[in-house]
Each structure stands twice: as C-alpha cells, then as structure tokens.
Structure 1
Amino acid sequence: MKRIVVTGLMGLVMWPALAQEDSTARELSEVVITSQRKSSALLKVPYLVETAGSKYISVYQPRTTPEALQGLNGVFVQKTNHGGGSPFVRGLTGNQLLILVDGIRLNNATFRYGPNQYLNTIDAFSIGRMEVAKGTGSVQYGSDALGGVIQVFTKEPEFSVDGNRWSGSAMGKLMSTGMEQTGRGEVQYSGKNMAAMVGVTVRHFGDLVGGDTTGMQSPSGYDEHAWDAKLKFKLSDHTGLTIAHQFLRQSYVPVYHKVVLENFRINETDPQQRMLNYAKLETAGKHAMLRQVSITASWQNSIEGRASIKNNGSTMRRERDEVNTLGLTADIYSVVSKRWTANSGVELYHDRVSSSRNDINELTGSVKSLRGLYPDGAKYGNYSIYSLHHLEWNRFSAELGARLNIFNISLTDTSLGEVSIQPSALVGNAALMYHIDKNHKIFTSVSNGYRAPNVDDMGTLGIVDFRYEVPTASLRPEKSMNAELGYKFQTAKLSGAATFFYMKLNDLITRVRMAGDSINGYPVYRKENTQEGYIWGMEATLAYRPLSGLQVSGNIAYNYGENKTSKEPMRRIPPVHGRVLASYTKSAWHVSGEWLYAGKQDRLAQGDKEDNRIPAGGTPGWKVLNLYAGLQFKSIRLNAGLQNILNEDYRTHGSGINGVGRSVWTNIQFSF
C-alpha cells in the first residue's frame, strides 16, 4: 500500500491511502498548500509563495514569529514596539492581510487597520512551517486577504511503525545585555495508532539595546509564557483525528514610543493573550468526488488588556477587550477527471466581543467604569462557501475559483444606537501557468479580493495611536483587483523567480478627520469608505548552489502606492528592501552570513507625516550584517548568532522602536 501526502485545512499529515502517489511531491520535496488548498510542488504554484521551515527557524533563531519573516522575499516587518511585529505583503498589513494558524483564522472582529501585534501571539518555538502567499487568498480563504495570506503550521507529532517510543528536547537561549532569556521543553510520544506532543516555553525579554547612537530603549522588555499540545489518532487506515491546544500570554508589554514621545508614565499591553482549541477530522475516501474530506471545529479566545497613565497624572486607565471565536469549516477534495481536481467547502465563524474600561484614581482609589474601546457584546458572523478548480492540459495548468461570503455584524452603541449590517462579497480568481519545461514556468493571474468591515471599523471609541476615534454606523467592504505576471525556474544549481504586479483598491476604509473637533488634545477621526488607490511593484529572488552544501541567494522587492482620492502616496508603503544570504552546511556544522537592507522612504502620505513614529522627511535607509553558526553533536546542538555587526542605528519604516544593535545570542538544545 502506498502513502500519499493528504492535506486538510490545517497542515500536512501522512495517512495511508489507496490513491496513487502525488508525482509533484516527487519532483520537488518542498510542498505548499496555502495558495491552492491542496498539495502542490512549489515550482508549479502560479503565485509567489515564500516559506520558512523548522530547520530555517532553528538555524536563525528569530526572536519572535513576526521576526521569522524578516528577509523573506517581498515581506517587510514593522515593529510598533518590542512585543509587536506586523508583516507587510504587497504594501499592506494589519487587517488587510490574512493570518491563519493551522488553517484557522487568527483575524477576528477587532483586528485593527494598520500595523498590529497579533502575529506575535504565536509561539515561535511551536512552529513547524510558515508560508506566505502574496497577492492572493480571498477566494481560497476569505475576507482580509487583500495583500495575501500568512499561514502558520505548528509542529506535528509522528506515528511509529516499530513500537511505542518517547522522545523530547530541552533548549535554552541567552542574548547579550540581558535582552533575552528563553527556555523550551518538548516531550513526544509515538505509537502505531496514537502520537502526542507537548511543549512549554518561558521567556523574559530585557529592554532592547539599539545601535551606535540609540543605546538602551526603556521601557521595552516584557515576559512571555506559552504551552501547546497536539494529539493525533489513527482511527483507521484512511481516517485520522487531530486534537490541539495552544496558549500564549505576554505580560507588561510596553509601547515604547508612547512613553518617550507622548508623555506617558505607563503605556503597556497587559495581558496580550491567545488560546486556541481545535479538533480536525480527516479521511481519504475511494469515491472520486470525496477523495479527501477535512472537517475542523475550533474555539479561539483572544484577550488584550491595556494600562496607561500620563506623567503627573492621577488616573490609571485600564481597558480589556476579549473576543471569543467559534469556527466550523469543511473542505472536500474531488477528482473530477484525470486533469481536473477541485476543492470545495464551507467556513463558518462567529465572534463575540466583550470590552470594558475602568478609570482608577490612584489618590482616592475610586473606580469609574466606562464604555470600552468597542461596544460590549458586539457580534460578528462570517459565513462563506467556495469552490476552487485545478486544471491541467498539455503544457498548461490553470486555477479557477469563486467564493460567496456573507457577514452579519450587530452592535449597540450609545452614540449609534442598535446597528446591524449584512454586507456580502462575491469574488473570483483565475491563474494560468505555461510549463516551458519541467524547470521553467511562466504564470499570470487575475483575482479580486475584499475585506469586510469589522467591529474595530464600526465601533472604536477612544485613543488609537496619535488620534481619537469615534464610531461609524455604515461601511462597505474594501475591494481589490490584482493582476500579476511572473516567471519561475529551478535547475540543479540555480533557481529563482521574478514577478510584476498591479493592485487596484476601491472603497478603502480610512480615517477621516472631523474638522475642528478635538478630545483631550487628540484630533478626532471617523472611518469611512472614501478612497481608492493602487499599488504596483516588482519582486525578484535568485539562489545559486555552486558546491554541495554551499548556497548564495538574494532577493529584492519594490512597492509603489498612490492614493488617487487624496492625490498623495498610500500610507505606510515599505521602501525597497531585500536580503543577501550566503550559507555553508557540512554534515554536523553550518555557518552563514546575512545582509539585510532597506532604502530610504520619503514618499509619505499626510498620515505618515503626522505619525510620530516616522522621522521628519522620512525613514532613513539602512544595512545590517549578521553572522550565524551551528554545531551538532550526538544529542546536543549548539547555535549562535552575531547580530548587527557594524552596530548600525536603524529603524524599519513605520516602527516605534529602533532595531537591535550589535549583540550576541547563544542557544543550546539537548535531545533524548
């Protein structure tokens, strides 16, 4: 009996099956599933997809999950604070970029416009693989994927074929000047019909020390602890069940620029917490129309607390927002014919928002309860049905798909009254690839996307960044139309890709200044569907392997955005950026050098000019050089990194804190 790679909504698992082995998996060992909802060789996907696997994460030891994406082709990471990290893809971020964890939406009803910190609620040490599909995703995965989709797959326990066994590991990581102290432990059980994995991570981050002229940036450090568990059951030769739990909590996470620039004595997130529980049933059937079926039920709980008090102030403001999300998804993979397969399914998500605020007088101890940032009890329903079709003939392959999404948003607000809207969206995509030969491919795609308004758009009341926001009663979905032309190739020693894209954006939900209004010294804004614009850009990557174990690679990305309504640049467009990387691996050791760079960004929207995180005249360009090395003994692995060797003082565009200066980290892991 042969084994095939069976992909459900939440990862790669190996189940015995009666079907033939997927030939694409033999041609290229790297398999992606994000962009097409099925297993495909990376070279044959008609979009650009970037990946970071567990080996990549182990070698470079990124501090956080967002930082694991830094340097991937076309991905730019902004950091509002040390405990944040918001990736930009195709010039968009925040709630215009969809994040999935094991196939389940991380985006919820309170995801903010612009940079946010939510990707950092995924424990970097629990990750098995990350994928970034650029310029596509609304048809495949629904609302918010205007810029693309980031999918995070957590580690999978493995079945045993020769009896039961236990294994595990313990890891410790230290960084100079007390900037990081991390411990991680994992235990795994492998049996013939059951496999389990449990991991625990405890972390302390000291204040971030910047480059040659910045020094220590205080307060910026925080604490974090997380644990995760995953059980897999082989119910039969064709059916498997996965049950998983994830939990992460960050405490006392300072917003550095608020303290330094806006006269706050304390401004921090406490806690930032996420919990996810899910059960996934997968089965491989003999019937062609039900070749693979995956059903997932999930419950996700997100909590964000905030504490703030001004210098010389006497009132501590404590806010708490909680979102409970119930999800139910089903995906069916069908073999219509030898050259025609399809993925079809439904996705149902329901959010309930709880929001509160207490103003505490530190002199008298009195507590005043007020409306939270969002209307308490707001509900957000997200329901969709989709069908994706994968076609092949001669030297061509094609992707065609459509999704119908219906939303039900209801909230009660003192200023708006009872509000209920039911926006909807019907979107489609089409991609065509011409296979010049097995090593060279040309592709083009056209797709439209959307982002439905959420509770954050409609119900925000309070201080956000450097402004005061008030609620709005009626909004429409944001819409995009994306066109792309690209080329991919892979030979024994050389591989690469290049693409040009153009994205048109309509009905953008933007903050509009209420003329003459001011609250507590902050200008007053409200969100409206007022603007349209476009973003175009180019991306290229090249890798050369002249010798066994040696690889030299580089990438570059450029985005240009224009707001046609206000006749100015789009907000927060990243500068030209990229990476050059050289690495050598020899059996038990490895060494690599990395050069990260970004150009100056002085094409600024008015909102950028008003943002106190962006220097007057724009963000200067920068270059950072890092070195990494590792050594593997029998059961001990050592890794080390020397970061920012030249001690460059730099800041990624739009960030509220500078990058790390010259520093050293070491990591040791014991396996048993």
Structure 2
Amino acid sequence: MKQIYLLFIFCNFQSLYAQEIFIQNQITKSPIKNVAVFSTNKIRSAISDNFGKCNLNIFNKGDTLNFQHIAYIPVKTSISQISRGGVFYLTPKNTLLDEVLLRTNRKSSFQKSSQILSINRKKIIQTQSANTGDLLQKSVGINIQKSQVGGGSPNLRGMEANRILLVLDGIKMNNMIYRSGHLQNIMTVDPFILNKIGIANGLSSVAYGNGALGGAILIETIKPLKSDSSDFFFSQQIESASDAVIGHFHAKYGKNKFYFLSGLTFKSFGNSKMGKTRLHSYQNWGNEAVATNGNEQLFTAYKQADFIHKTDITLSKEILLSLNTQYSYSSDINRFDMLNDDIKYSDWYYGPQKRFMQILAIKTNNSHFLFDNSTLTFSFQNIEESRHKSSWNSSVFTRRFEKVSIYDLIFDFEKTLVEFTLNYGIEGRKENLHSTAYRQNGNFGKKGYATTRYPDGGSGSDDFSFYSLLSKSISYNLSLSGGLRYSANKLNAIFNDTSAYHLPFNNITLNNSSFSSSINIKYTPKNWSFISSISNSFRNPNMDDIGKVFSKNDKWVVVPNSKLTPEKALTIDGEIRKFINDQLEFKLLLFQTLLVDAIERRDVVFNGADSLVYDGVMMKTQSNQNIGKAKISGISFSLLYNITKRIRFSSIGNYTKGETAKNLPLAHIPPFNVNTFLEYNITKNKSLVFYVFYNAWKKKADFDIAGVDNLDEATLDGTPSWTTFNLKYLHKIDDSVSFSVAIENISDIHYKTFASGISANGRNLILSLQSNF
C-alpha cells in the first residue's frame, strides 16, 4: 500500500509540474513574453508573462494547444505532448536557415541536440531548383560535382559519395555499390515533393550508422493532410539555359481516417548552354571539338519522371499506419565528360536509372514502462542502373547492368522522463547485387562475352546494429547529449569467371564490426549559443570498394582488393552564435576530422604486373587501399542582418582543407565558397532578391594524385575562381497563385564547379508558376 501511495503522489506531482511551462526562443533560449496560448475551439486561453512563464491549469487534458506570437512560427500540439521539463520552444520567423527538426520516424534525441541546417518547403520552392543537387548548392553553398546535366554529387566537409549518408524519409539510400568517386543518386530525389532537407553532423553516425563520416543529408517528403478536406498543388517551371520544362502536380485528400497524397513530376531538359564571357582567360577550356557547338554542350539532353504516393491510416488514437511509395525513372543520360574527348568514344551513356522505394511504418503513441512512442518500419528498395559505351568508329557496345535489392527492418523506441529523452533501437538490413554484362553489335545485334563491373556470381551484404541516444537538460540553458551504436557487417562476393583478369581468388568474404559514439554539449546564455561535440564514425568497405573492376579514363583500371578494413573518423566540432537585438545573427563553426585507414585509390602491382588489358586497352592497375591517416579541417560562417523591416542581408561561407599523413592533397576538398543574398520586401506579397555565388581557385597542386578530382577536366593551372550575379523577383498574386522570375549568371560567365566534367549554365532565365487550390 505504501508503494502505491508513493506512486500516486509521484504521478500527481508530474501532472502538476506540467501545468506550468516556460516559453523560450529556440535559438537564443531567451524567454518570450506575450505568447498567446489557446485551445483549438478558442474557449480556453492563456498568455506568457515577462519571464515566458505560462500557466496551463485552465486547459483540459485532451486539449490541442495553439502557440502564437507575431515574431515566431505558430505551433499546434496536444497538451499531453508538452515536455515535462517545463520548457517549450518557438522558432523565430527570421533566421538565416531554419534550425528546425526534421521529423522522420526516429531519433528525436539526435535531432534536438544536433545543429541541423534545415531548408523548409517555402524556401525550397523559392530557390527554383530543377534538381536536389542544385537546391543544396543554391541554398547552403555545398559544392556539387557534375559530369553531365543529369548529375550532381554533393560534398560535405570534404567528403563525398559513399562517405556521406543520404537518408530519405528515415531510410538510408546508400547501398553496396555507392562508389567513392562522384555519385549522382541524389538526382533521383525530386525537389518538388520535398517538405524539408537538412544537413546534420555530430551524432549522425550514432543515429544512422555506417557511412556518416562527413555527416548526413536528411530528406523529408511532403505528407498527407490529417483532415477530411483536400488540397491540390500545381507547379510549372521553364529554364532558358537548358530549354528545360518541368511540371509538377500533387494532391492531398482523405476521409474517415484514411488520408492520401499523390504526386507526379515530369522533367525535360535540352542541351545545356555554357557561358560566353571567359574572365578566366582560358579560351579553349570547355570548348570541346566533338561535344560542343559554339556554347551549346551537345548530348546533354535527358528526361525524368518521379512519382510518389502516401497513405496514412489512423487505426486508433494511438496507432498510425503509413505506406510510402516512390518511383523515379530517367531516360538515357549521356556521360558528357567521356564524349568530350576527341575521337575516343562515339557513345558513352547511362541507361535509364530506376529507383523504387516502399516504406511501411507502424507508429504507436502509448505510454509504456519501456517506451512512450515506438515505430516499426519495413522498407524495400530496388535500384537499377547500367553503363553503355562504344569506341569511336565502332558499332560494338559494351553494356554493363547492375540491380540492387535492399530490405530494411527497423525498430525505434522513445522514452521521455522528467529530465531525459532516451531513444534506442535495432536495425537490420539485407542487400543483394546482381551484375551482368555483354558486348553487342548496335542495339539489336548478337550478344557476346564482356566482363562485369562487379562479381558475376552475385554479391550480398548483411548488416545488424543497435543504438541508444540520450539527451538531458541540466538547466534551462545547458543540455548534454550522447549516444552509442554497435554495427556488424558481413560482405560476400562470388567470382564465377576469374580467367579474364586471373584473379587470385574465387570469392571474397569480409566480416567487420564497429562502435561509434558521440557526446554533445550545448550552452545557451542570453543572446549566445555555444555548442561543442566529439564523435567517432565509421564506413565499412562495400562491394564497390573491394570487388569492382572498371576504368574511369582508359589510363588506369581499378582491380579488386579483398583486404580492405573500415574507414574510421574522429571529429571535433565547435560552434559559436551571437544574436544582437533580434537584428543581427552571426555563426562561426570550426571542425577537424582525423581519418584513420582512409580508403583511396593507389597504383598497385596485380598478379606480378602493373598493367592489364581492360576492354581491349592496356592500362595501369590501381586498387582501393587503406592509406593510413588523413586530416580534414574546416570553417563555416553565416551572417544574417535585418537592415530594416524590409531589407535583409545574409551570407554563408565554407572553407575546407585536407591532406594525407604524407602531406599529399586529399581528394574531394572543394575550394572556399560564399553565397550572399540581399532581399528587399517591396510589399507583403512582393520581393526582390539579389544574390551572388563565389568560388575561389582550386590550384593544380591541390588536386589529388589518383585523379578523383578530375584534373584533366580543369585548366593547366587548376579550376579558376568564379562569381555569378543573380536576380530574382517573387510575387504572391493571391492566396492560391504565386509567380517568380529569375535571371541567373547575369554576366554569362564561363565556369565549371570543382571536379566537374561539364561547364555550368550560362545566363539562365527561369520562370515559375505555382498554384494551390
């Protein structure tokens, strides 16, 4: 009886504790006065005092509360969801980038404690980006490498491709053939169906596991309405530099606990036109004898279609069933950087890239001794890609096809106590790879033998991991968070045919296990914010690392290496923010990453020789190797200045430096860049934005020695600096129709982004129309 009585007192104490909350600025942690708090039916209401304190005794247990303040983004939440810690945060409307949570289906401890640069849907639409790679480049200045118009490989903190994670609606897109060079898979994610996209570091390796050496790109798609109403959205966009036409439509509809979203996007791109003004003075750079006609870059046209459908079924007040289906399909995409070499290839193209994803999630919100919320997620992905090439004056094609099937099973749990939030879970993944190849005369001729890109007997990968994340509020302006993850991976490959390259083995089996951990401390005194974190992360070798045979440029051929070990990274972050009178915001972030057993391509003697014949050409042999240690350091800054109520200035910049333990340049290190914006709000519904993108020189001596940085696509001195001036006008005609027009690269300058094999667009007129009805 005594125990029951004590439990009764404890429960009532918690109930009373939750009746009084303190409302604070999400970024500065300063109190917010005069916040209106009211029930949905507006019968009950309260207001916060000078200390941000608000008493909720007037509200009923089942009420949904609305928090509104003129300077902050409105929030609606159930009273039962309000933190028992007594602090409720509102996000200011005017910030450089939205530091808001991306609500996937897990890991709120990670999202609450980490600095996630998040771009919301409104800003995504305003960037007028034709693809997700351009969206990241325009919004936060991330370097995007391109080998063709239908490409885009993002670079985070000097890491690229399989060293960063792409997480779409809570599911990792990374798979066993994600390569180490430049990766174009983010192009299969349609920016027109995005709700948010964010960049995360720190705890990302604990939250998402294998591959987050440079961080994670968190992508969240739009969701169905939770009401018996309907909403329709239409967008049309055209671009002059590539004769692009893009149409998007999605509908949200539902009734009686069944809610749906259906969306479709069609994209058609013509040949890209590069700039005419050559301020860099390299008159022939990018003027390819075969692949250009004046400023038109030939063979760069392509088409793409993207489809999404979501179904949410409210089974009860505590259980939600969600089904998420996505499909992306492209036409053939020519590899421009291969076709621009004089009399080398008559054809070199990627076949249609297909990405299918299906996610089934069961979410429960029912307080339990072990958890308050749980999510059970099943997902399936099917990826198909192919490569086709034919030498100059030859009708014989070499065709290589890859098909990857990925199965994920994830259990996520969350438990909230008085001062703690605990997230933990178990994850399992299985991947199967089927690789085939043949030679063919033309498109319909007889098929003959060709070597496969990956092991021809099939490959598989099995992953198992469990994680825990804990966040604790030590005081109202001091919080601590940390996490641990254990991962085990088994990779196997079978080589049926070893005669072509005389491989010294018939199969490869790798077993790896890794621990990752992180700790993060956040201190937010008035008008300041200090964040520091230390984390270790890892990346297990995948099939592209250990089992691939391919040539990038007919100079070197990469051969298998069965003795690779995981890459590991130790990263230290420090961030300082200063806010002045809600008018000026400045942020400085410094980081240093120590890579151990970094995987890089190096020359190798294979079967006693330093060369072999690949696709009829004698080439030097290379393999992926653990090169020892490497170091990457960097600084990022951002500035927001509300000059007047109508004029706003903002800027964001990044500088990165990387080298191996032998003081050799590390691959994937982009040059210094700055994106700057000056926005003038003419009226409430009209605005004008002048923006400048700047990239510094990447000198020849700073390119890597293995050729990953594509020095052969730069000038004799490296990649020249470039600056583009751009202007945009946005007009919200009424509540349902918006129009925008932009002129990008007004000076029509010629340039290439770092490591790219294709010149960027010249002067580009973009017209966009959006309608909601």
* TM-score bin (small chain): over 0.9
2:514 is the alignment partner of 1:425:
yes
Corresponding residue number in structure 2 for 1:593 = 690
2:683 is the alignment partner of 1:582:
no
Which of 150, 159, 167 is the aligned partner of 1:83?
150
Corresponding residue number in structure 1 for 2:494 = 412
Corresponding residue number in structure 2 for 1:8 = none
User: For the residues of structure 1 that align with 2:160 and 2:553, how far apart are their CA atoms?
Assistant: 16
User: For the residues of structure 2 that align with 1:656 and 1:610, how far apart are their CA atoms?
Assistant: 7
2:305 is the alignment partner of 1:225:
yes
The Cα RMSD (Å) is 2.4
CA distance 1:198–1:383, shift in 2 (3 Å):
same
2:391 is the alignment partner of 1:310:
yes
2:717 is the alignment partner of 1:617:
yes
User: For the residues of structure 1 that align with 2:243 and 2:203, how far apart are their CA atoms?
Assistant: 37
User: For the residues of structure 2 that align with 1:297 and 1:15, how far apart are their CA atoms?
Assistant: 28
Please say if residues 4 and 19 of structure 1, whose CA atoms lie closer than 8 Å, have aligned partners that are also in contact.
no
1:459-474 matches, cutoff 5 A: 459-465=547-553, 467-474=556-563
Corresponding residue number in structure 1 for 2:595 = 505
1:312-327 matches, cutoff 5 A: 312-327=393-408
Which of 526, 529, 537 is the aligned partner of 2:634?
537
1:191-206 matches, cutoff 5 A: 191=255, 193-206=257-270
1:519-668 matches, cutoff 5 A: 519=613, 520-565=617-662, 567-585=663-681, 586-602=683-699, 603-608=702-707, 611-634=711-734, 635-668=736-769
The one-letter amino acid paired with 2:492 is S
CA distance 1:177–1:654, shift in 2 (3 Å):
closer
User: For the residues of structure 2 that align with 1:158 and 1:21, how far apart are their CA atoms?
Assistant: 25
2:166 is the alignment partner of 1:99:
yes
* Structure 1 or 2: more strand by fraction: 1
TM-score, normalisation: structure 1 = 0.93
How big is the shift at 1:401? 0.6
1:14-413 matches, cutoff 5 A: 18-20=80-82, 23-27=87-91, 30=98, 31-33=100-102, 38-39=107-108, 45-47=113-115, 49-73=116-140, 75-134=142-201, 136-160=203-227, 164-176=228-240, 178-191=242-255, 193-212=257-276, 215-261=295-341, 263-287=344-368, 289-335=370-416, 337-362=417-442, 365-376=445-456, 377-394=458-475, 395-413=477-495
CA distance 1:208–1:582, shift in 2 (3 Å):
same
How big is the shift at 1:191? 3.3
User: For the residues of structure 2 that align with 1:659 and 1:363, how far apart are their CA atoms?
Assistant: 32
How big is the shift at 1:625? 1.2
User: For the residues of structure 2 that align with 1:543 and 1:41, how far apart are their CA atoms?
Assistant: 26
Largest Rg, 1 or 2: 2
Please say if residues 183 and 202 of structure 1, whose CA atoms lie closer than 8 Å, have aligned partners that are also in contact.
yes
How big is the shift at 1:367? 0.9
User: For the residues of structure 2 that align with 1:218 and 1:535, how far apart are their CA atoms?
Assistant: 37
**Deviations along 1:149-180, whole A, 9 cap, x unmatched?**
001100111112xxx32321222211115520
User: For the residues of structure 2 that align with 1:363 and 1:483, how far apart are their CA atoms?
Assistant: 53
User: For the residues of structure 1 that align with 2:225 and 2:646, how far apart are their CA atoms?
Assistant: 28
User: For the residues of structure 2 that align with 1:370 and 1:20, how far apart are their CA atoms?
Assistant: 62
2:591 is the alignment partner of 1:496:
no
How big is the shift at 1:499? 1.2
The one-letter amino acid paired with 1:626 is N
Please say if residues 264 and 308 of structure 2, whose CA atoms lie closer than 8 Å, have aligned partners that are also in contact.
yes
Please say if residues 104 and 170 of structure 2, whose CA atoms lie closer than 8 Å, have aligned partners that are also in contact.
no
How big is the shift at 1:15? 8.1
Please say if residues 4 and 21 of structure 1, whose CA atoms lie closer than 8 Å, have aligned partners that are also in contact.
no
User: For the residues of structure 1 that align with 2:65 and 2:539, how far apart are their CA atoms?
Assistant: 35
User: For the residues of structure 2 that align with 1:284 and 1:381, how far apart are their CA atoms?
Assistant: 31
Corresponding residue number in structure 2 for 1:455 = 543
**Deviations along 1:79-127, whole A, 9 cap, x unmatched?**
1221111111111000000110001000000000021100111111111
**Deviations along 1:176-224, whole A, 9 cap, x unmatched?**
1552011111121043522211111111111111111561111111111
SS at match of 1:476: coil
User: For the residues of structure 2 that align with 1:14 and 1:476, how far apart are their CA atoms?
Assistant: 48
How big is the shift at 1:35? 11
User: For the residues of structure 1 that align with 2:443 and 2:354, how far apart are their CA atoms?
Assistant: 30
Please say if residues 509 and 529 of structure 1, whose CA atoms lie closer than 8 Å, have aligned partners that are also in contact.
yes
Higher mean C-alpha displacement, 230-239 vs 164-173: 164-173
SS at match of 2:80: coil
User: For the residues of structure 1 that align with 2:688 and 2:254, how far apart are their CA atoms?
Assistant: 33
User: For the residues of structure 2 that align with 1:36 and 1:228, how far apart are their CA atoms?
Assistant: 18
CA distance 1:165–1:436, shift in 2 (3 Å):
closer
User: For the residues of structure 2 that align with 1:313 and 1:557, how far apart are their CA atoms?
Assistant: 46
User: For the residues of structure 1 that align with 2:407 and 2:168, how far apart are their CA atoms?
Assistant: 14
User: For the residues of structure 1 that align with 2:102 and 2:251, how far apart are their CA atoms?
Assistant: 27
Please say if residues 348 and 388 of structure 2, whose CA atoms lie closer than 8 Å, have aligned partners that are also in contact.
yes
SS at match of 2:125: helix
CA distance 1:671–1:121, shift in 2 (3 Å):
same
CA distance 1:230–1:588, shift in 2 (3 Å):
same
TM-score, normalisation: structure 2 = 0.81
User: For the residues of structure 1 that align with 2:161 and 2:438, how far apart are their CA atoms?
Assistant: 27
Please say if residues 433 and 441 of structure 1, whose CA atoms lie closer than 8 Å, have aligned partners that are also in contact.
yes
User: For the residues of structure 2 that align with 1:352 and 1:509, how far apart are their CA atoms?
Assistant: 23
Higher mean C-alpha displacement, 112-121 vs 543-552: 543-552
**Deviations along 1:580-609, whole A, 9 cap, x unmatched?**
012234322222111011100112222247
Which of 573, 584, 588 is the aligned partner of 1:484?
573
Higher mean C-alpha displacement, 361-370 vs 341-350: 361-370
Corresponding residue number in structure 1 for 2:283 = none
User: For the residues of structure 1 that align with 2:122 and 2:270, how far apart are their CA atoms?
Assistant: 27
SS at match of 2:631: strand
How big is the shift at 1:458? 1.2
User: For the residues of structure 2 that align with 1:192 and 1:547, how far apart are their CA atoms?
Assistant: 48
User: For the residues of structure 1 that align with 2:338 and 2:421, how far apart are their CA atoms?
Assistant: 52
Higher mean C-alpha displacement, 612-621 vs 139-148: 612-621
Paired residues, what number? 657
Corresponding residue number in structure 1 for 2:564 = 475
The one-letter amino acid paired with 1:324 is S
Gaps of 5+ in 2: 1-61, 67-74, 279-286, 288-294
Please say if residues 203 and 482 of structure 2, whose CA atoms lie closer than 8 Å, have aligned partners that are also in contact.
no
CA distance 1:528–1:191, shift in 2 (3 Å):
same
SS at match of 1:329: strand
Please say if residues 535 and 562 of structure 1, whose CA atoms lie closer than 8 Å, have aligned partners that are also in contact.
yes
How big is the shift at 1:508? 1.2
Please say if residues 390 and 398 of structure 2, whose CA atoms lie closer than 8 Å, have aligned partners that are also in contact.
yes
SS at match of 1:345: strand
SS at match of 1:651: coil
Gaps of 5+ in 1: 6-12
